[in-house]
């Protein structure tokens, strides 16, 4: 979890310890009460009744003149004693029962589990009250009553832990070595079962203390004159209005112990809370200061400015029908120390009606670099650089837009199709509800029936049969290909000028893939829509793209027109990708070449070319200086210094094939 960086000052471990401190204090006070207490908690002194706090009685005295502080401290002792007794009993009973059930399995396990389930599902307070109701109050009955409901969670935890261990090879080995069940349970199962139970016990303290106090308050727990906390409160009740010192301290003591215990339990149960994606879209005023921008490693990166849009490295100038122009885009995420870039200095552009394909391996930053301009990354991502969209009538800088401004772009001018169609659709809403919402967002909706007619039209447009019926289906009822079409219908609702498709076909089988690619090509032709298609599959790319950008380790290493890229690839990585595509024409038995090494590095991990370690033509200099994208021909850029000078020469050389 990378949330640790947002913590100010105190590390998470220490915070858990801090939370546990009141519990520790409770235990210490309980143990040392006889030493700490200034007076005998049961010594009456009617002459000194109901005295307010003074130097002699720090917390005043009660109606019988007893020292309230001493009674409070001794109350901790009683609570602690009852809690310890209850925990000892329920831990022993629970862990042993659970371990036996988990170890034996079969019918015994089923019966015990059923009993545990019922015991867990019963309200503890009711059980305790009922048991005390038939047995009468007193410390012994109190411990029995509370233990009767406290044991079950331990049994459940221990059973789950042991059942998980039962089939492990470790136990099989022990059995083969001749260890009996007693030894296996005692030495090898009880300790691991006990550990999570002890953790749970720390959070159970609060519930037990609260239960005991409540029972005492109802007159069914610890009988007077023992100074139990709940007992103190019930005795102080008649003097509530006049003697505040009787009403507050015991309540505060109980609340503090229970609060610490609950807080600890919540921390252990849910861990650190992650911020949601939504906080990204809330108005800035509702948010705490945005993550500070720590200096990214290369200090050359710039904040989005109007000028950075024009200070382009490419030769093409603005106002020429270029729909999206991305310049020096970098994306970084919080990391152990500061931020770590995952996409660095990316430049690309999408002319109207053109299809740009972004290819690269998993983790090369291709999805991040195409979703970043539209604010569709994790809230912790920091995007810098420039991305201008010339949609509608005017040109807009996309980096740094506010959420309401984004809503004017997303859905209206830009539609997005995500990779995992099942995850990208809300499982609880019908396809029609999704599309309806998209239609309404873009202002094309009207009354329910009108909106639905537009929806059905969109579903028909993306080639779904029976739009009326499909609109009423839930996402899980459709096949992957149909869901992908549904996503497309959502994306098309605003008649966008740009469609961003992230791996639109990778989860589909080949025939469905082909249909979907045909559909995309048709939409481009019919609607004149520009597209960015992210894919790791060059076969997809060659069917669709006008231009191709190849990414490696968060940077574009080569970009150019499709034909150039396929026939004259210059960068060794591009050539490697092409070589890895199986071709129907090759002789049987030819092994297609795969690239050695592995991917997954970030753009700033190496001083030089990130591909150098895997590159067949690398020279030592490659690992020293970061290569820059150089223009080879109009629209064709490559970041390989060894190739760009004599591109044609090298491209002429036939790629070697293993085993040929």
Residues 344-403 that bind other proteins (CB under 8 A): 374-376, 403
- How far apart CA 355 and CA 364 sit, in angstroms, is 20
Q: Which of 23, 86, 157, 263 binds other proteins (CB under 8 A)?
A: 263
Exposure of 223 by Cβ count < 10 A (0-12 exposed, 13-18 middle, 19+ buried)? Answer: middle
Q: Closest CB to other proteins among 487 and 547?
A: 487
Residue closer to other proteins (CB basis): 14 or 130: 130
463 in Cβ contact with 520 (< 8 Å): no
User: Which of 71, 156, 354, 483 forms a contact with other proteins (CB under 8 A)?
Assistant: 483
- Does residue 474 touch other proteins according to CB under 8 A? yes
206 near other proteins, judged by CB under 8 A: yes
Would you say 177 and 137 are in contact if contact means Cβ atoms under 8 Å apart? no
Nearer to other proteins, 267 or 352 (CB): 267
Applying CB under 8 A, does 126 fall inside the site for other proteins? Answer: yes
Show Cβ contacts of residue 524 under 8 Å, excluding neighbours closer than 6 positions: 353, 355, 530, 531
CB-based contact 63:235 (threshold 8 Å): yes
155 is a contact residue toward other proteins (CB under 8 A): no
Which residue in the set 6, 183, 522, 591 belongs to the binding site for other proteins (CB under 8 A)?
6
The answer to the question of residue 15 lying near other proteins (CB under 8 A) is: no
Residue (502 or 604) nearer to other proteins, CB: 502
Which residues lie across from 356 on neighbouring strands?
Answer: 532, 547
Positions in 397-456 near other proteins (CB under 8 A): 403, 406-412, 414-416, 418, 420-430, 433, 437-438, 441-442
Residue 335: Cβ within 10 Å count: 14
**Element containing residue 387 per DSSP (H, E):** strand 382-391
Q: How far apart are CA 648 and CA 632, in angstroms?
A: 10
Q: Which residues pair with 329 in a beta bridge?
A: 346
Q: Are 535 and 503 a contacting pair, CB within 8 Å? A: yes
Q: Which helix (H) or strand (E) holds 557?
A: strand 555-561
| Beta strands per DSSP E along 110-218 | none
Shortest distance (Å) from residue 425 CB to other proteins: 6
Stretch that binds other proteins, among 193-201, 268-276, 306-314, 636-644 (CB under 8 A): 268-276
Segment contacting other proteins by CB under 8 A, of 82-90, 305-313, 474-482, 532-540: 474-482
φ, ψ dihedrals at 327, nearest 5° = -130, 130
Select 44 or 202, whichever has its Cβ closest to other proteins. Answer: 202
Is residue 194 involved in binding other proteins (CB under 8 A)?
no
Range 221-260, binding other proteins (CB under 8 A): 230, 233-234, 237, 240-241, 244, 247, 250-251, 254-255, 258-259
Q: Does the protein bind other proteins through residue 480 (CB under 8 A)?
A: yes
Cβ closest to other proteins, residue 138 vs residue 192: 138
**Does residue 523 interact with other proteins by CB under 8 A?**
no
Rule CB under 8 A: which of 487-516 touch other proteins? 487, 490-491, 493-494, 507-508
Closest separation in Å from C-beta 248 to other proteins: 9
Of 374 and 573, CB closest to other proteins: 374
Cα-based distances in Å from 90 to 23, 96, 99, 136, 522:
19, 10, 13, 21, 69
DSSP string, 254-302: HHHHHHHHHHHHHHHHH-SPPPPGGGGTS-GGGSPPPPP-PPPSSTT--
Question: In terms of CB distance, is 415 or 569 closer to other proteins?
Answer: 415
Closest distance of CB 382 from other proteins, Å:
15
Distance, CA of 617 to CA of 569 (rounded, Å): 14
Instruction: Kindly state the smallest distance separating residue 276's Cβ from other proteins, in Å.
Output: 4
Q: How far apart are CA 116 and CA 103, in angstroms?
A: 15
Is the Cβ of residue 3 or residue 630 nearer to other proteins in the bound state? 3
- 21 scored as a contact of other proteins (CB under 8 A): no
Number of residues that bind other proteins (CB under 8 A): 105
Q: Helices 190-217 and 12-36: crossing angle, nearest 10°?
A: 60
> Which residues within the stretch 102-121 sit at the binding site for other proteins (CB under 8 A)?
118, 121
Stretch of 337-345, 471-479, 587-595, 627-635 contacting other proteins, by CB under 8 A: 471-479
CA-to-CA dists, residue 140 to 42, 81, 212, angstroms: 21, 11, 12
Please report how close the Cβ of residue 130 comes to other proteins at its closest, in angstroms.
5
* Distance in Å, CB of 513 to other proteins, minimum: 12
Tell me, what DSSP letter sits at residue 655?
P
CB of 463 to other proteins, least distance (A): 10
Interface with other proteins in residues 278-307 (CB under 8 A): 278-279, 281-282, 286-288
CA atoms in the 13 A half-sphere facing the CB of 319? 1
């Amino acid at each position: 979890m990378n949330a640790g960086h947002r913590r100010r000052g105190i590390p998470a471990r220490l915070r858990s310890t801090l939370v546990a401190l009141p519990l520790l204090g409770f235990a210490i006070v309980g143990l040392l009460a006889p030493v700490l207490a200034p007076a005998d908690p049961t010594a009456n002194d009617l002459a000194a009744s109901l005295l307010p706090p003074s130097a002699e009685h720090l917390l005043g005295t009660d109606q019988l003149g007893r020292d309230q502080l001493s009674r409070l401290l001794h109350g901790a002792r009683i609570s602690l004693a009852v809690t310890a007794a209850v925990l000892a009993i329920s831990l022993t009973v629970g862990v042993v029962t659970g371990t036996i059930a988990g170890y034996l399995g079969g019918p015994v396990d089923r019966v015990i589990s059923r009993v545990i389930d019922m015991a867990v599902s019963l309200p503890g307070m009711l059980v305790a009250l009922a048991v005390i109701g038939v047995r009468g109050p007193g410390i012994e009955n109190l411990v029995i009553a509370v233990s009767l409901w406290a044991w079950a969670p331990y049994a459940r935890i221990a059973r789950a832990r042991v059942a998980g261990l039962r089939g492990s090879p470790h136990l099989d080995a022990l059995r083969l070595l001749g260890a009996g069940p007693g030894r296996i349970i005692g030495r090898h199962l009880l300790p691991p079962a006990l550990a999570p139970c002890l953790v749970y016990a720390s959070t159970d303290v609060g519930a037990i203390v609260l239960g005991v106090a409540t029972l005492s308050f109802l007159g069914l727990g610890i009988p007077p004159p023992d100074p139990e906390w709940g007992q103190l409160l019930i005795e102080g009740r008649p003097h509530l209005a006049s003697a505040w010192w009787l009403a507050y301290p015991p309540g505060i003591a109980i609340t503090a112990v229970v609060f610490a215990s609950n807080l600890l339990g919540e921390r252990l149960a849910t861990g650190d809370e992650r911020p949601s994606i939504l906080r990204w879209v809330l108005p800035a005023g509702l948010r705490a200061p945005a993550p500070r921008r720590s200096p990214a490693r290369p200090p050359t990166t710039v904040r989005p400015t109007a000028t950075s849009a024009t200070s382009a490295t490419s030769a093409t100038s603005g106002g020429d029908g270029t729909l999206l122009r991305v310049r020096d885009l970098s994306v970084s995420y919080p990391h152990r120390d500061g931020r770590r870039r995952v996409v660095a200095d990316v430049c690309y552009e999408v002319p109207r009606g053109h299809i740009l394909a972004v290819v690269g391996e998993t983790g090369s930053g291709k999805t991040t670099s195409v979703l970043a301009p539209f604010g569709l990354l994790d809230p912790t991502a920091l995007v810098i650089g420039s991305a201008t969209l010339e949609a509608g009538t005017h040109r807009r800088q996309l980096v740094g837009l506010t959420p309401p401004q984004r809503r004017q772009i997303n859905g209206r001018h830009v539609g997005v199709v995500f990779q995992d169609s099942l995850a990208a659709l809300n499982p609880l809403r019908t396809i029609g509800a999704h599309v309806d919402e998209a239609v309404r967002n873009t202002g094309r909706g009207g009354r329910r029936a009108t909106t639905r007619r537009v929806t059905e039209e969109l579903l028909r447009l993306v080639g779904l049969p029976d739009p009326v019926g499909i609109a009423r289906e839930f996402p899980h009822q459709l096949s992957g290909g149909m869901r992908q079409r549904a996503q497309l219908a959502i994306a098309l609702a605003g008649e966008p000028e740009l469609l961003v498709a992230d791996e639109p076909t990778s989860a589909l089988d080949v025939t469905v893939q082909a249909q979907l690619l045909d559909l995309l090509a048709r939409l481009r032709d019919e609607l004149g829509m520009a597209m960015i298609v992210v894919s790791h599959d060059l076969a997809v790319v060659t069917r669709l793209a006008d231009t191709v950008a190849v990414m490696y380790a968060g940077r574009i290493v080569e970009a150019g027109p499709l034909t150039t890229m396929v026939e004259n690839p210059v960068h060794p990585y591009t050539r490697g990708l092409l070589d890895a595509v199986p071709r129907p024409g090759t002789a049987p038995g030819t092994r297609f070449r795969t690239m050695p090494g592995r991917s997954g590095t970030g753009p700033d991990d190496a001083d030089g070319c990130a591909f150098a370690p895997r590159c067949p033509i690398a020279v030592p200099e490659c690992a020293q200086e970061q290569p820059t994208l150089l223009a080879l021909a109009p629209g064709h850029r490559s970041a390989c210094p060894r190739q760009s000078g004599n591109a044609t020469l090298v491209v002429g050389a036939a790629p070697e094939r293993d085993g040929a």
